[in-house]
Amino acid sequence: MNNQFTETETISYGNNVKNAFGNIIFGIILFLASFILLWWNEGNSVRLIQKEDFINKNAVAVSSNSVNRANDSKLIATNGKVYTDETLSDSLINVGKALRLNRKVEMYQWVEQKKVEKHKNIGGSVTKTTTYSYEQKWDDLEHNSNNFKHSGYENPAFPIKSTDISAANGKMGEFIINENQISKISGFKNITKLAPLSGYKISDNYYYKGNSISNPQIGDIRISYSYVPSGTAVSIIGKQNFDNTISEMMTRSGSVYLQYNGLFTLDEMIHKYKQTNMLLTLLYRFVGFLFMFFGLKLLISPIITIASIIPFLSETAEFISSFILAFVALILSLLTIAIAWFAYRPLLSICLIAMIGVIIYFIKQNLLGKKAQKAMRTRQATY
């Protein structure tokens, strides 16, 4: 059976130009979304810093082995091992006392892969080559063959689904830990000793359903299990309640609740929280910059497409425009952040605006310097 198909389509110059003008709408949306995202991110960054300050000023480090009623409704930081008496089970197996049980189901199935290549032609048309390939492999994602481009690669439906089960409750010392909190605990361990199960073979820590383990066929199933054992260490910052539970504490900057796997002190948890917030803020700034950059590219795409009547000219224009737009997107992103800081953090905005000025001055001096040198060499050559 041929498992690879190639389709070729030529898009005319006129259609390319038409599509490029249609992209302007998406460019405007991305461009505007970048300002919204960057502005929101700076405000959110301030709120996260305010939460951090609130934790620093109000959190009380306590032992999980005893509950002091004087701390009810206060923000506490505690840690310990979480235990449960529950035995977790699904429709196939049950494990001993465990906080979480994960069942991963994989099917040997057809997987469609799509690869698109575009080649610019003289005259502005584009040759689009799409290659569809089909591969048999184990995958826990269900690939619906009804959505495949080509027929003859049918996959059956999964007879059983993957699932994740959490204990309804547990205890960390004298504190009660609920199902939602338990569902956030990680540290899975693979179940390597599987008990015999009717209708399944056992191979390499898998339950296997099919004719041949060494030569799987489409529709064969293998199932693996992992669990979080009772006694896993957890650290929490949250509000102590009168019923010995720990929950979110509402503040002016939003809710405060932190949970980490492992035994950490109050200072260590604050440090981890601060690092995470810094990374998230930087990530959203970068995403905002990308939104702005690609939005601008879509806005000028008609110009690049019109120039594509000569491929070399189009590639040159695209390269130069990408460099210029990256610079414009960087300046606009920094300005947006600076203005947002002026609203949220006035002193820092002044520093950022100064940095933007330095960047513009540096580029201007380099460009003007090169032009002056070129002019000087021209005058010397005339003399």
In a domain, 121, yes or no: no
| pLDDT higher than 90, residue 14 | no
Which of 264, 286, 306 terminates a domain? The answer is 264
**Residue 271, domain member (yes or no):** no
pLDDT score recorded for residue 106: 97
- Asked whether residue 70 falls in the same domain as residue 154, the answer is yes
Lowest mean pLDDT among 2-11, 46-55, 310-319, 320-329: 310-319
**Residues 93 and 195 grouped into a single domain:** yes
Give the chain's domain count. 2
Predicted local confidence at residue 11, as pLDDT: 80
Residue 68, classed as helix, strand or coil, is: coil
Model pLDDT for residues 133-182, shown as the tens digit of each residue: 999 999 999 999 999 999 999 999 999 999 999 999 999 999 999 999 99
- Among 287, 286, 285, which Cα is nearest to 337's? 285
Q: Indicate whether 233 and 357 sit together in one domain.
A: no
In a domain, 323, yes or no: yes
149 with 197, same domain: the answer is yes
349 vs 270, more confident: 270
The answer, yes or no, to whether residue 98 has pLDDT greater than 70, is yes
Give the range of the structural domain holding residue 64, as residue numbers without chain letter: 58-111+131-264
* Run of H or E including 330: helix 311-344
pLDDT band at 350 (very low <50, low <70, confident <90, very high): low
Both tokens assigned to 131: 């290659």
Kindly state the tokens that stand for 22. 């249609």
Whose CA is closest to 141, among 156, 162, 159, 121?
162
Residue pair 86/75 in contact (Cβ under 8 Å)? The answer is no
Confidence band of 213 (pLDDT split at 50, 70, 90): confident
User: Alpha-carbon distance 363 to 290, whole Å?
Assistant: 21
The answer to whether 239 and 74 have CB atoms below 8 angstroms apart is yes
Looking at per-residue pLDDT, the higher value among 316 and 98 belongs to 98
Residues 86 and 235 in one domain: yes
Least confident of 34-43, 205-214, 271-280, 283-292: 205-214
- Tokens at 292, concatenated: 């702005």
> Of the candidates 125, 181, 138, which has an alpha carbon nearest to the alpha carbon of residue 310?
125
| Per-residue pLDDT at 1 exceeds 70 | no
**Higher-confidence residue: 19 or 64?**
64
pLDDT on residue 162: 96
pLDDT 10s digits, 263-303: 999 999 999 999 999 999 999 999 999 999 999 998 888 87
137 in any annotated domain: yes
Give the per-residue pLDDT at 203: 86
237 and 164 fall within a common domain: yes
Q: Residue 19: its pLDDT value, please? A: 80
pLDDT of residue 193: 87
The Cα–Cα gap between 151 and 156 comes to 14
The three-state (H, E, C) secondary structure of 161-220, written as one string? CCEEEECCEEEECCEEEEHHHHCCCCCCEECCCCCCCCCCEEECCEEEECCCCCCCCCCC
Instruction: Report d(CA 178, CA 47) in Å as an integer.
Output: 27
- The pTM is what? 0.80
Q: Are residues 351 and 313 in the same domain?
A: yes
378 and 339 within one domain: yes
Question: For residues 289 and 358, what is the distance between their CA atoms, to the nearest angstrom?
Answer: 19
Determine the Cα–Cα distance for residues 157 and 161; give it in Å rounded to an integer. 10
Residue 12's pLDDT band (cuts 50, 70, 90) = confident
Q: What pLDDT is attached to residue 379?
A: 56
Of the ranges 73-82, 202-211, 335-344, which is most confident?
Answer: 73-82
Closest CA to 309 of 92, 125, 38, 161: 125
Question: Quick one: average pLDDT of 197-202?
Answer: 90
End residue of a domain, out of 264, 290, 314: 264
Asked whether residue 299 is domain-assigned, the answer is: yes
- Does residue 363 register a pLDDT over 70? no
Q: Closest Cα to residue 291, out of 85, 29, 101, 91? A: 29
